[in-house]
Every structure is written in C-alpha cells, then in structure tokens.
C-alpha cells in the first residue's frame, strides 16, 4: 500500500470513529419529543401539586422533589428546573391544572398500568400543564408494594412532565429512575434506579438551553394555583393514537389532539404482567391487564 493510500485509509477510519462517537452522543439523548416548559429565565420553578392520599406516597414525592433539586448530589453541576411541592388542586382523576404538574395516587383499576404521566402541548413543543398518577390497584399488591419500586415510579412519572424520556427501556439499570429496571421480586430491596443520575441533569440542561423572551407557561410561584382544569386522562380511550412502544412492552406513548388545537401526550408505564402477555400489543386492548 502506498503512503498516500495508507493515509487515506487512516483518515477514512478516523472519520468512521468520529461518526460513531457522534451517533453514540446523539442516541444518548432522552428528551421526550423536544417538549419543554416555556419560561423567561434560565432557571425556573415548577409547582408539583400534592394530591396524594397517604403519608408514604407524600414521602416518595418529597424524596423525588429533593433529588431533582440536588444535581451536585448526583455528579452534575446545575439544573434549570427546580420543583416546589404545593397543595394540590385536582380531583381523584387527577385532572391537569394550568402551569403545574398535579401528582396523584388512587385505585385506578386493573387496567394494566403502574404509572401514568400526561402533558398538554401548545405551539408544537411547549408544555402548559401536566399530571403524574400512581395506580394503587397494583401498588397495594405484594409484587409492587415496596418502597423502592414506589420511589422509582414516582421519580420517573414527575420527570416525564419536565420533558424527560427514558435513558433505557430494556430493563437494565442505568442507576437512573428514567430507566425500566424493576425494583420487584429479587430486586425489591435494591435502591438502584430510584433517583436521577448526572445524565438526567445533563439532558435537562440541553432541553432548557434556551429561554423564551416573552412567554411563560409555568405558574408563578407567588400566585395561587389556577383553577382551570382539563379532562382526566386515565381513561385509555382518551389517549388517542399509539405512537411508540418499547420492545419489551413496558412503555407506550400516545398522542391525542384537542378541540382547542393543543395536544395531550401520555407516557404509560405498564405492569410486568401486561408486558409479558403480549409485548408487541397495545395493552389497552390485548387483555394484558
């Protein structure tokens, strides 16, 4: 091989390596559709409405809020989003309230899902309101009724309303609550994946790298919660079209368009049983629950 050809081969190989690095960086992102709250400041506070009915769930919300407010505890340097727990202003069905995320638990029924996060979208990408729901129909059973599984799901569902998707959906632990490691069975005593990690905060900083000069969709921290609510979304018939599902069947996302032109996007965390029955099916209709 001539020196010129050898040099060309080396340049080509280096280019492939660089391309691989770029692909790996790009694939590491876990923004949910580019959705984000509009705000006018680099850092903002999102109200989490506490509609939780038990002290144990309230502790899980408090822990998750504290974790998301503490980037340096997880090897990160900053966060653009601070959470503040306030009195809830929703109902049993956990209707969304403008400018806030409402957090609820209830016995929502044997419908196949453990956790449900919904956000309303305007302008294509701006989150205007959110809700995070924990289904006690399953969390009251021996399979899911442990502190680590509850913490994992609470941490994950509220973070979906920040605009975060999952780091991984294959069931392995990235030691982030934004994966689908299951803290059940032999893993019931494991604290893996019950908190955010540095990559989660890195992704939040990417999502919120810009500000909106003139608009905000976040409720002011000095005002009362808005009274306006939108319809509840735990009824699977209201979720709209299935747009994505993980290979193992534990995660599905849906989108529905509303009469006012906004869109409601819903993240569904299915039970192990629903996913095992038919991983490739839309669990709303496959009898997995």
Sequence ranges of the domains in the chain: 40-52+63-106+113-228+256-266
Residue 139: pLDDT over 60: yes
Q: What would you measure as the largest C-alpha separation in the chain, in angstroms? A: 76
pLDDT over 70 percentage in the chain: 84
Residue 233: pLDDT over 60: no
Residue 287: pLDDT over 70: no
Report the pLDDT averaged over residues 5-14: 42
Of 14-28, 165-179, 231-245, 256-270, where does mean pLDDT reach its minimum?
A: 14-28
Residue 271: pLDDT over 90: yes
What pTM, to 2 d.p., does this model score?
Answer: 0.86
Distances (CA, A) of 151 to 80, 93, 207, 249, 272: 22, 21, 24, 21, 17
Report the pLDDT averaged over residues 125-153: 97
Higher-scoring residue by pLDDT: 10, 63 = 63
Ramachandran bin of 123, using left for φ above 0, alpha for ψ from -120 to 50, beta for the remaining angles = left
Task: Classify domain 40-52+63-106+113-228+256-266 by CATH number.
Answer: 3.40.390.10
Q: Which residues pair with 130 in a beta bridge?
A: 101, 119
């Amino acid at each position: 091989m001539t020196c010129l050809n050898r040099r060309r081969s080396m340049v080509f190989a280096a280019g492939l390596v660089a391309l691989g690095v770029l692909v790996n960086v790009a694939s590491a992102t876990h923004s949910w559709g580019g959705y984000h709250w509009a705000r006018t400041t680099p850092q903002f506070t999102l109200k989490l409405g506490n509609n939780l009915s038990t002290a144990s769930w309230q502790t899980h919300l408090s822990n998750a809020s504290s974790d998301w407010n503490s980037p340096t505890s997880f090897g990160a340097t900053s966060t653009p989003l601070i959470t503040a727990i306030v009195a809830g202003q929703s109902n049993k069905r956990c209707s969304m309230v403008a400018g806030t995320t409402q957090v609820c638990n209830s016995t929502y029924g044997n419908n196949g899902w453990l956790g449900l996060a919904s956000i309303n979208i305007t302008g294509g990408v701006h989150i205007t309101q959110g809700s995070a729901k924990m289904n006690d129909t399953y969390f009251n059973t021996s399979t899911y009724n442990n502190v680590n599984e509850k913490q994992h799901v609470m941490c994950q569902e509220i973070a979906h309303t920040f605009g975060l998707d999952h780091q991984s959906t294959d069931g392995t632990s990235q030691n982030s609550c934004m994966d689908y490691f299951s803290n059940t069975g032999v893993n019931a005593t494991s604290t893996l994946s019950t908190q955010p990690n540095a990559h989660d905060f890195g992704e939040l900083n990417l999502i919120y790298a810009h500000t909106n000069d003139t608009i905000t969709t976040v409720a002011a921290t000095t005002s009362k919660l808005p009274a306006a609510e939108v319809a509840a979304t735990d009824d699977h018939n209201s979720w709209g079209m299935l747009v994505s599902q993980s290979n193992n069947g534990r995660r599905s996302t849906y989108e529905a368009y509303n009469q006012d032109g906004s869109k409601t996007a819903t993240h569904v965390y299915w039970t192990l049983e629903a996913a095992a029955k038919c991983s490739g099916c839309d669990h709303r209709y496959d009898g997995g629950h």
